[in-house]
Amino acid sequence: MSDNNWTDSQRFDSKASEWDANAVRAALADAVSRAILAHMPVSRPEKALEFGCGTGLVTLRVAPGCGSLTAVDTSREMLRVLSEKIAAGNIPNISPLFLDLTQPDAASRIEGSFDFVFSSMTLHHIPDTRSFIAQLYGHMAPGGTLAIADLDTEDGMFHDDVTEKVHHGFDRDELKNLIESAGFTNVSFITAHMIEKKNRAGQRAYYPVFLVTATKPQI
Ligand SMILES: C[S@@+](CC[C@H](N)C(=O)[O-])C[C@H]1O[C@@H](n2cnc3c(N)ncnc32)[C@H](O)[C@@H]1O
């Protein structure tokens, strides 16, 4: 599953049980969920996909607005925590799925096309942003909405572990070009949240988080 340490399942496996206890993460997920809900298609999406769902901090808030929601992640432990929440809440419309969407066999593991695809804080963990966005386009139905939250370009100090392979956030203009190159239209950004945390240098720092939305055109 690991791609030169980019998709580091073990790292997230080891964090899963403590994931929700982090107040910075909880505040971020709350803000991103509200931003995603505000930008969902007016007509209720029948078939939604979330990539990098983690323990479901965003998943569980967005799911009530969807018909069915496939929640994929590459960490079995993150998915286990999510599955426990689904069982405890008797939530019928979320299907957790262990899947790396960047892998060539991914398309054969998910059925049909999605009218809503969303994510929070996962795009920076995916090595080839351009080809991944193109893959997402292929998984979406005409008229479908894409909503991705992630870090604006950061100073490289956001993540605590210097060995972790990640993009240091994204430049909005570059990401817009890349999303448009894949074929999406109506690409638009808002600032969904401002993370305030002690960074790797031990300094209190602020990291803006965008939500970018886009549409796959009707044929
Ligand atoms: C920073 S966490 C965010 C989790 C969740 N969205 C949240 O807001 O709490 C990134 C998640 O993406 C998952 N991930 C990393 N690479 C992935 C990939 N290629 N496909 C699917 N999930 C991936 C990780 O296992 C992790 O659960």
Q: Cβ(135) to ligand 1 under 6 A?
A: no
Q: Cβ(75) to ligand 1 under 6 A?
A: yes
Residues 145-176 pLDDT 10s: 999 999 999 999 999 888 889 999 999 999 99
Sign of the Cα pseudo-torsion (137, 138, 139, 141, in order): positive
Cα distances (angstroms) measured from residue 113 to each of 46, 92, 98, 213: 10, 20, 18, 18
- Closest-CA residue, ligand 1 atom 23, reads 52
Q: Average pLDDT in the 193-218 region?
A: 96
pTM attached to this predicted model? 0.96
Q: Cβ(151) to ligand 1 under 6 A?
A: no
Full domain range(s) for residue 211: 9-215
Residues 60-105 pLDDT 10s: 999 999 999 999 999 999 999 999 999 999 999 999 999 998 988 8
**Domain total in the chain:** 1
Please tell me the predicted confidence (pLDDT) of residue 161.
87
Q: Is 168 within the bounds of a domain?
A: yes
Q: Is 1 within the bounds of a domain?
A: no
Q: Is 2 within the bounds of a domain?
A: no
CATH of the domain at 115: 3.40.50.150
Q: Is 92 within the bounds of a domain?
A: yes
Cα Rg of the chain, angstroms: 16
Q: Is 73 within the bounds of a domain?
A: yes
Residues 4-17 pLDDT 10s: 568 789 999 999 99
Q: Is 4 within the bounds of a domain?
A: no
The answer to whether the beta carbons of residues 51 and 58 sit under 8 Å apart is: no
Ligand 1: nearest atom to the Cα of 120: 6
